[in-house]
Amino acid sequence: MLRKLLFAAIALTLLAGNALAGAFPDRTITVVIPFGAGGETDIVARVLAKEMEAIAGVTVAPKNIVGASGMNGCKAVVSAKPDGYTVGVIPSAPLVMHPHMRELPYTLDNFNIIGRISYDPYVVLVRKDSPWNTLGEMVQEMKANPGKFHWASAGAGSVPYFAGKDLFLSFDLDVKHVPFQGDAGALQAMAAERVNVYTSTAGVLNKHDLKALAILAPQASEKLPGLPPVTDSGKEVFYSQFLTLVAPQGLPTDVQQKLEELLKQAVASTGFVADLNKLGMTSAFLDSATAKDFVLAEYERNGKNIKMLLEKAD
């Protein structure tokens, strides 16, 4: 009898061990990054992967799948097996802007939003030595001198493009648009005084000789004390950069919950918050349900804005 009980105990132990071994995650999680090495999305994704790895106890491997303005990486995520071992760190534009601009091999519905990682509103930027210290001062001088000033974008269809165009149209200003290939070219032009205004996140203030005049958000930010929101000028021109962790649709419920909890802990970790602060970014976790509502609202709002803005000449 004792022998039977001993064998039964051993069998139960082995079964428990096998069940534990099969629990998620028990092997490498791949984090797809839809843009190249060294960019903002890439840096944040790698910091996040490091923190997730420490918490999960398995390898979390970043993988850059670049091209087509993020489309290739997004396609790789939605096409992956829905087992939780392929996720993606996706910025706002491929999720809530690009689907309104061209045909894509995916829709917003193809993404399972695990949670939001970060959120940073856009700000109106001028050179630090600019005579303008408020948005009102800038608008007043531009109205008095139509066609004299220039605003930069990171290229037609970029977030800075829509933010800048929306801003100047809302004030009915005649300001000339100068497109560049990405942030770097636009910021170099600002430094060389070839353009007067640019819109981006406040993170660029840490690296360039610029000052911000207003936040393109409904309310002020604790991170930018004293900087008024654009609503103080009576305008609703809202643009931001946010990052989300996404997976393919069809995840098992327990895997979904574990990924969400893993993300929550990683985003709240001291190391992650500190690294984002160094980048001038803000850790801003939202759980899956809240993040889905947030992304959908951004998708719908951007869709209306983009349709309106594309119908108007620069």
Least confident of 43-57, 198-212, 281-295: 198-212
Mean pLDDT across 33-60: 95
Q: Is 133 a residue whose pLDDT tops 60?
A: yes
Q: What is the residue extent of each domain of the chain?
A: 28-119+242-307, 121-239
Mean pLDDT across 249-275: 97
Mean pLDDT across 4-22: 43
Cα 25 from chain centre: 25
Neighbouring C-beta atoms of residue 145, cutoff 10 Å: 12
Which residues on adjacent β-strands are paired with residue 246? 88, 113
Mean pLDDT across 211-215: 97
Rounded to an integer, what distance in angstroms lies between the CA atom of residue 158 and that of residue 13? 57
Mean pLDDT across 252-265: 98
pLDDT, tens digit, 9 for 90 and up, residues 241-251:
999 999 999 99
Percent of the chain with pLDDT over 70: 93
How confident is residue 205, by pLDDT bands cut at 50, 70 and 90?
Answer: confident
Instruction: With beta carbons less than 8 A apart as the criterion, state whether 123 and 200 touch.
Output: yes
How confident is residue 298, by pLDDT bands cut at 50, 70 and 90?
Answer: very high
- Predicted pLDDT of residue 313: 73
Mean pLDDT across 210-239: 95
- Predicted pLDDT of residue 87: 99
- Predicted pLDDT of residue 22: 59
How many residues are given for the chain? 314
**Looking at the chain, which runs of residues are DSSP E strands?**
29-33, 60-64, 86-91, 111-127, 150-153, 176-179, 198-201, 210-215, 240-248, 283-286
Backbone torsions φ then ψ of 247, nearest 5 degrees: -145, 170
CATH H-level superfamily of 121-239? Periplasmic binding protein-like II (3.40.190.10)
Nearest to 22 by CA among 104, 83, 68, 95: 83
pLDDT, tens digit, 9 for 90 and up, residues 77-114:
999 999 999 999 999 999 999 999 999 999 999 999 99
Q: Is 275 a residue whose pLDDT tops 80?
A: yes
Which residues on adjacent β-strands are paired with residue 33? 64
HSE on the CB side for 148, CA within 13 Å? 9
Q: Is 254 a residue whose pLDDT tops 70?
A: yes
> For the structural domain made of 28-119+242-307, what CATH number should be given?
3.40.190.150
Place of tokens 């207003």: 214
Percent of the chain with pLDDT over 90: 83
pTM (2 d.p.): 0.87
